[in-house]
Amino acid sequence: MAMKVYINGDTVEIDKTGQPLLNIPRNKAIYRIENDEVTIFNNEDRTIYRQDDISSIQNQAGTAIGKLQDVVKYLSKSVVVRGTSVTRTTGGTGGTGEANTASNVGAGEGVFKQKVGVDLEFKSLVAGTGITLGSTADEITINSTTAALFGLFSQTAQGATVTNTTTETDILGTGVGSLTVPANFFKVGDAYHAKVGGTISAQNGDEITIRIKDGATVLATTGLISLQAVTALAWEIEIDFTIRTIGVSGQIFTNGNFAYNRNTGSLEGFVFSDVQTIDTTVINTLMVTAEWNQAKTQDIIFTDMTTLYKTY
């Protein structure tokens, strides 16, 4: 008997001599070839739709497909092949094979394109701007040729206002991203840049201390500085960090400057730097604090912006 197997739209049609025509959704039809017998069955409950010999398999026009390898190629295009199998033991020579497909899992861009016959086709990787590709026998490496500059934090709300108190206070506001670096994230040579700015008021001769901190550790400080008269004018700090060594007793170098506009119209600034021990095996969080040396309502400081990004 002859058994025609062919695709018609989203269905697989099986027309076997002497039996009713079957129309099966492609996502339910799979096949198995064991020795010389072809079985097409339901992928969900494994009920058999039709069975026939390899030599009886025909296309829609009624032309015989041919030998085992031709039937496998043909059915791989005409039937959903995931989970199908081919077993050949005729003549005692033995031999097994399995006709499979591939799929992409997870989010992002997939690399599998399609299966054509017995050939699994995958998309190629193409290096975009600033990217290079390298390969070994087992691995593909994607490298960036551009500077390793990316943002870590951007302040979006005004920070705490420090006034009429001598209490040291964190002046950074909330924002997007994070000021926290995970444990064991730092690498030797890592470099970061931070910029903090806001508004300051003070009477002539009033004193303030600005500290750059990692938790309780003071990375660098302006020390106690005496301000000239300033009324609701801009101030800023720019800070650079470099990780010199890592580990429980790692080392970080900090360099920065603090500057503000005076009522006289001129700018005054202070440069500071320091080297401190830092434990890179734990979580580290950047803080910037302000501490007035006198409690006066005329002394006011707060931040409007903070950005932190990795520069190397």
pLDDT (tens digit, 9 = 90+) per residue, 79-125?
765 556 666 554 444 444 555 667 777 777 888 888 776 677 888 88
Residues 187, 176 contacting (CB under 8 angstroms): no
| Residue 224: count of CB within 10 angstroms of its CB | 11
Q: Which two tokens stand for residue 303?
A: 């931040």
pLDDT value for 94: 44
What b-and-e string marks burial along 110-146, b requiring 16 or more CB atoms within 10 Å of the CB? eeeeebeeeeeeeeeeeeeeeeeeeeeeeeeeeeeee
pLDDT value for 143: 78
Q: Which of 99, 16, 27 is nearest to 57 (CA)?
A: 16
pLDDT (tens digit, 9 = 90+) per residue, 131-149?
888 888 778 888 776 555 5
The CA-atom distances, in angstroms, between 39 and each of 12, 46, 118, 252 are 14, 10, 19, 69
Domains (range + CATH), the chain: 3-121 (no CATH), 150-310 (2.60.120)
Instruction: State the number of CA atoms in the 13 A half-sphere of 182 facing the CB.
Output: 3
The residue type of 295 is: A
